[in-house]
Amino acid sequence: MEEQLENDRNNTPKTAAPADKPKRKRRLGDRSDGYRLRSLQPMSKVSPYIMPNRSGASVYFHESIEITEAENYIRKKRNQGLKGFGMMHLLLAAYVRVISQRPAANRFLSGQRVYSHDDDIIVCLTIKRDMTLEAEETIVKVHFSPTDTADDIYAKLQKLIDENRDANPDSNFDNTAKIFNYIPGLMLKNAIWLLKVLDYFGLMPKSLIEISPFHGSMFITSMGSLGIPPVYHHLYDFGNIPVFLSFGAKYKQTELKPDGTPVQRKYIDYNIVCDERICDGFYLASSFKLFKTYFRNPHVLDEKPATVFHDVD
């Protein structure tokens, strides 16, 4: 296992620099939520004009994965006192670890330009205040670091979920949505247009970007809690989220061993919709394979990564 992960690190495309690279200084053209990549290959700079919208540049990826090791790991974490640790936490921990090794997967496009979130891994997800049909939903946004372990992921996510499931209060997103709800339809259409223009030129206020569920590294949703398979969720043309991950309910499947003996195994399916303009196909495929490797061998997520890579300038 360790040898395989080491090979993955060695085969990382040379669009990454080691973690000891000096901290970048903000330059003209950078955004509050990312820095502009200026040394990309010509095709990477042209493709956003050929495919100007995220919905038209989406690729769809489906995977099924056997979860014996994952369930053993989840039981171990719960026995260690991490109440409610589940597939969501494990998927997020694997995703964050992939970003630490494949930093180009944390890029995004805005205004036909390619940017990087760098060490800020921003995940959005929808939660219900209670698991009932009538319960209200809210969207939370959590910031992770490439050095986060599975325990760090759990602590950050649970803190945010607990805060938003308190008896009373609405999230900042809910309060902002209520304000927009009072604007008449025609004026609201113009207001959204203005926000799109500001976002295109990187002028949207940082406070609005922080509460926006359409800006970040990834949106993740669980269909498993609803007892159904994962959906292919579209990417939003507003904002800049380049990845949408959906995972489904657990299911059992009977298979044959090499000797012909039947055995029952448990799986989950997950679907990823990704903006293909953020990196090339080889790099993307490598990221998908590494994600599956961590999910199959989750115990490595208990330790911080030996090396963290950064994207190009």
**Average model confidence (pLDDT) for the chain?**
88
Which distant-in-sequence residues (6+ apart) come within 8 Å of 164 by Cβ? 127, 129, 138, 140, 171
Q: Is residue 313 part of a domain?
A: no
Distance, in Å, from the CA atom of 116 to the CA atom of 289, rounded to the nearest integer, reads 21
Q: Is residue 169 part of a domain?
A: yes
CA dist 261 to 143, 252, 257, Å?
46, 16, 5
Which amino acid, one-letter code, is at 46? V
Q: Could you give the angle at the alpha carbon of 97 between the alpha carbons of 312 and 103, nearest 5°?
A: 10
What are the pLDDT digits (tens) for 209-252? 999 999 999 999 999 878 899 999 999 999 999 999 999 999 99
In this predicted structure, the answer to whether residue 189 has a pLDDT above a threshold of 80 is: yes
Percent of residues, the chain, with pLDDT higher than 90: 69
Q: Report which DSSP code applies to 67.
A: -
Report which of residues 3 and 125 the model is more confident about: 125
Q: Is residue 135 part of a domain?
A: yes
Helix (H) or strand (E) holding 59, with range, is strand 58-66
Kindly tell me the sign of the dihedral angle through the C-alpha atoms of 185, 187, 190, 194: negative
Residue 110 and residue 200 in contact, taking contact as beta carbons nearer than 8 Å: yes
If you compute the radius of gyration of the chain from its CA atoms, what whole number of angstroms results?
20
Range of the domain at 140: 2-307
Q: Is residue 114 part of a domain?
A: yes
Q: Is residue 21 part of a domain?
A: yes
**CATH number of the domain that 150 lies in?**
3.30.559.10
Structure tokens at 132: 């009932």
Q: What is the pTM of this model?
A: 0.88
What average pLDDT does this structure show over 294-308?
95
In this predicted structure, the answer to whether residue 3 has a pLDDT above a threshold of 50 is: no
Q: Which residues of 42-75 are buried (b: 16+ CB within 10 A; e: fewer)?
A: eebeebbeebeebeebbeeeebeeebeebbebbe
Q: How confident is the model at residue 287 (pLDDT cuts 50, 70, 90)?
A: very high
Distance, in Å, from the CA atom of 210 to the CA atom of 190, rounded to the nearest integer, reads 21
Of the listed ranges 13-17, 70-74, 159-163, the least confidently predicted one is: 13-17
Cβ count near 178 (within 10 Å): 10
Tell me, what's the pLDDT at 18? 53
What are the pLDDT digits (tens) for 142-162? 999 999 999 999 999 999 888
Q: Which residue has the tokens 């760090």?
A: 152
Structure tokens at 95: 């995703």
Q: How many domains does the chain have?
A: 1
